């Protein structure tokens, strides 16, 4: 499942009009606490948008966003204790806790937000037409992969009927542009970037096919819960408040796009993030961040069917609901 791109890939990538400034470094260099702040790892994706808002709104300046280039880097940072909190893929947290890594999911970060993109000039209208084609996914642990599996199953197909390639989401728009892949499945803004540039269109979106879709969850190390429970509660309060604020008004989403686009956070073109916010308005949603056991059970079942989890993991082993149950309203004054 390794990607192989043509020699002119980098030249084609430079031609893209997306203006996304993308991270290329591996592990972030900041420690778990920097100048008295809790460093929280995240990716420059709109599924993580509640994190920049929470960090910006915290009056005490308790939290600092640390940008990572991919899930393997965040996973390594959490496993080693380099950071003590991050947005993570829910199935990956299940797998790590099953391997005795002391982590707990304490909040959702979003709902929906994944897309399957094809070229605008392609004739594809049904997934059956992708038989034998090359489709990029971020990771076998990504819920995007489970979304792709769902859509294939509706056509009585399986991943064996297509060529699955693991690829970093920032590289996917360029790969589609260069025809190195026929489709890609990922979170935003990497679908919107290609769509806004005019050479890609959504074949399917979770907003239409999987309304209760979740992938990125706020995850903390258990020692942080034991050593500073009030700080974890403050972080959850702000993440949940950020979700409500984002869905409260279009003006808030516009402001969020500007904030997240800054060099301190995603370092991207704000017009691309705004495109995600507007096309359509529920492309990604943030207001309902309830942690529902049945939804996690569904993710676990799908992950086991995909072979990324080998056995069931007890809900209480990887989730701590106490912080969501103890939420205190906080203002988002931005």
Structure confidence at residue 32 as a pLDDT band (50, 70, 90): low
Kindly state the percentage of the chain with pLDDT values over 90.
84
Token pair 């420059």 is found at 44
| Separation of alpha carbons 231 and 105, rounded Å | 15
Q: Please name the residues in contact with 327: beta carbons below 8 A apart, sequence gap of 6 or more.
A: 236, 237, 240
> pLDDT of 174-196, one tens digit each?
999 999 999 999 999 999 999 99
Map out the domains of the chain as residue ranges: 9-19+113-209, 33-112+215-325
Do 33-112+215-325 and 9-19+113-209 have the same topology in CATH? yes
| Separation of alpha carbons 41 and 326, rounded Å | 23
Structure tokens at 199: 């050479």
Pairing of β 111-112 and β 284-285? antiparallel
Which CATH class name applies to 33-112+215-325?
alpha beta
Does residue 28 surpass a pLDDT of 80?
A: no
Average pLDDT over residues 299-315: 95
> pLDDT of 219-228, one tens digit each?
999 999 999 9
H-state helical runs in 218-314: 222-227, 229-248, 250-261, 270-278, 293-306
**Burial class of 15 by CB neighbour count within 10 A (0 to 12, 13 to 18, 19+):** exposed
**For the ranges 24-33, 41-50, 106-115, 279-288, which has the lowest average pLDDT?**
24-33
Does residue 71 surpass a pLDDT of 90?
A: no
- pTM equals 0.88
Query: 9-19+113-209 is classed in which CATH architecture?
Result: 3-Layer(aba) Sandwich (3.40)
By three-state DSSP, how is residue 118 classified? Answer: strand
Do 93 and 222 meet the contact criterion of CB atoms below 8 Å apart? no
Average pLDDT over residues 8-29: 38
pLDDT of residue 70: 85
Positive/negative CA dihedral, 31, 35, 36, 41: negative
Do 241 and 331 meet the contact criterion of CB atoms below 8 Å apart? yes
Q: Rounded mean pLDDT of the chain?
A: 89
């Amino acid at each position: 499942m390794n990607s192989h791109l043509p020699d002119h890939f980098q030249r084609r990538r430079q031609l893209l009009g997306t203006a996304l400034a993308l991270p290329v470094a591996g592990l972030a260099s900041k420690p778990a606490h920097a100048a008295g702040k809790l460093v929280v790892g995240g990716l420059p994706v709109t599924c993580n948008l509640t994190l920049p808002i929470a960090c910006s709104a915290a009056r005490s300046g308790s939290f600092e966003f640390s940008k990572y280039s991919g899930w393997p880097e965040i996973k390594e940072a959490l496993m080693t204790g380099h950071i003590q909190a991050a947005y993570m893929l829910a199935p990956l947290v299940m797998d790590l806790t099953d391997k005795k890594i002391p982590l707990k999911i304490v909040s959702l970060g979003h709902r929906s937000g994944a897309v399957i993109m094809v070229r605008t000039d392609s004739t594809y209208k049904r997934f059956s037409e992708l038989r034998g084609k090359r489709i990029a996914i971020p990771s076998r642990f990504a819920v995007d992969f489970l979304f792709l599996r769902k859509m294939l199953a509706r056509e009585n197909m399986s991943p064996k009927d297509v060529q699955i390639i693991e690829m970093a989401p920032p590289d996917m728009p360029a790969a589609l542009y260069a025809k190195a892949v026929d489709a890609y499945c990922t979170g935003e803004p990497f679908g919107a970037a290609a769509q806004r540039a005019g050479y890609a269109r959504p074949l399917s979106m979770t907003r239409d096919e999987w309304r209760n879709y979740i992938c990125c969850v706020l995850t903390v190390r258990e020692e942080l819960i034991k050593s500073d429970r009030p700080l974890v509660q403050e972080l959850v309060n702000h993440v949940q408040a950020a979700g409500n604020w984002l869905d409260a008004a279009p003006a808030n989403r516009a402001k969020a796009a500007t904030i997240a686009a800054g060099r301190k956070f995603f370092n991207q073109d704000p017009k691309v993030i705004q495109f995600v916010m507007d096309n359509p308005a529920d492309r990604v949603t943030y207001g309902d961040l309830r942690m529902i056991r049945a939804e996690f059970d569904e993710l676990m079942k799908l992950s086991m069917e995909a072979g990324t989890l080998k056995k069931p993991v007890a809900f209480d082993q990887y989730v701590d609901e106490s912080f969501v149950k103890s939420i205190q309203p906080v203002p988002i004054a931005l």
